[in-house]
Structure 1
């Protein structure tokens, strides 16, 4: 499979030859050549489909299989942001719950939860995450631009939860309470922060969709 990522508001364009396949969540495809065979399924059974629904990806997944050579299929970003390609090579990554755009069928996707149910529930974004492993190409969608860090052993970062995009499996993920009543009430950072501890790679995103929505809502007309 050949691919390119193009545009200021990016689109992923993939060229598949006969028999090659690409997987995406239902509704993610933007345009394609005639000649693809489409198979819709839960991607491993109803329970896996329901688990994926918690991440916002929906119960069903579509597999697009090329019936001849040189067929194009495209996936546009849903918001201003960045599309990232990863060659898995047996690695494992944890991402925010809405990061998945498309992948080769050999990439395995799971829904994972933070270790503490109560912390995850109160921490909002941090409760439900996506885990990717296996072989092949994986395409992810970030909100805004991305910034990359490589944490040493024991090195820690505290991050507003919406800015966490992805990290390697070796990085430990926890939810930490903001200290001090005044800080919680007037600091504007909320009650919880994500605590990531190395070693491993961490990639953050600059414009979480929740932050963008909060800036737009005051300008949306409402009926009196």
Structure 2
């Protein structure tokens, strides 16, 4: 199996599989594939359970009820996944006992040894980060996962006890050694007139964090004043 990330601002991940090799992806990510690729859409992949229960756990973690397994049959084949927003696609190696937490739309695909499951689902005033609150998926297991983040990607290696306060929409991914806690913005004037919502995420090391500069909810909020209301 080999992968190639093509393009710049709107990248495409193309996976080349030998006969019998497979890749899993969240439901609905397919862009194109060779005719000999087979698809098996199921709710029963990982997540600490089987069948529908595993799918429900993924939904609770911000993912899709279904995942799709792409397999090469009768020779090598390829399958491609295109970015939905200007940004970056990159691989991350995951080992047993060392997982990652990813924002709800960040997981693109993975080798079959990776399990997507519940990370966090926190409901609060929507503000600039969408109507779904702050939702994280957890990726665990052993293998390679490919992540899609929007805009520019900024990384920090936090030392033990070192913290960074991050707008929820800009949290892309972080190692599970990083502690996270929702915090409330201080000061009534900041809350009501600052335009940044009520909450920030406190990320505390040790561990690596990936932040995204242009999450979709914030982009949509910025464009809203320029979109004409529907005609009655």
Same fold (TM over 0.5): yes
- Check whether the contact 1:108–1:132 (CA below 8 A) recurs between aligned residues: yes
- Number of the residue aligned with 2:208: 201
Residue 224 of structure 2 is aligned to residue 217 of structure 1: yes
RMSD: 1.6
Q: How does 1:74-85 map to 2 (within 5 A)?
A: 74-85=80-91
- Number of the residue aligned with 1:146: 153
How many residue pairs are counted as aligned between the two chains?
219
Shift of 1:39: 1.2
- Check whether the contact 1:123–1:175 (CA below 8 A) recurs between aligned residues: no
Deviates more, 1:15-24 or 1:65-74: 65-74
Q: Deviations over 1:79-98 (max 9, x none)?
A: 11111111223331111111
Q: How does 1:1-224 map to 2 (within 5 A)?
A: 1-8=1-8, 9-42=10-43, 43=45, 44-90=50-96, 91-113=98-120, 120-122=122-124, 127-221=134-228, 222-224=230-232
Stretches of structure 2 that go unaligned for 5 or more consecutive residues are: none
- Check whether the contact 2:101–2:138 (CA below 8 A) recurs between aligned residues: yes
- Check whether the contact 2:182–2:200 (CA below 8 A) recurs between aligned residues: yes
Secondary structure of the corresponding residue to residue 28 of structure 1? coil
Q: In structure 2, what is the Cα distance between the partners aligned to 1:27 and 1:102?
A: 11
Q: In structure 2, what is the Cα distance between the partners aligned to 1:77 and 1:63?
A: 19
Secondary structure of the corresponding residue to residue 224 of structure 2? helix
Q: Which has the higher helix share?
A: 1
- Number of the residue aligned with 1:117: none
Shift of 1:155: 0.5
Q: In structure 2, what is the Cα distance between the partners aligned to 1:208 and 1:26?
A: 20
Shift of 1:65: 0.9
Stretches of structure 1 that go unaligned for 5 or more consecutive residues are: 115-119
Runs of 4+ that moved beyond 6 A:
none
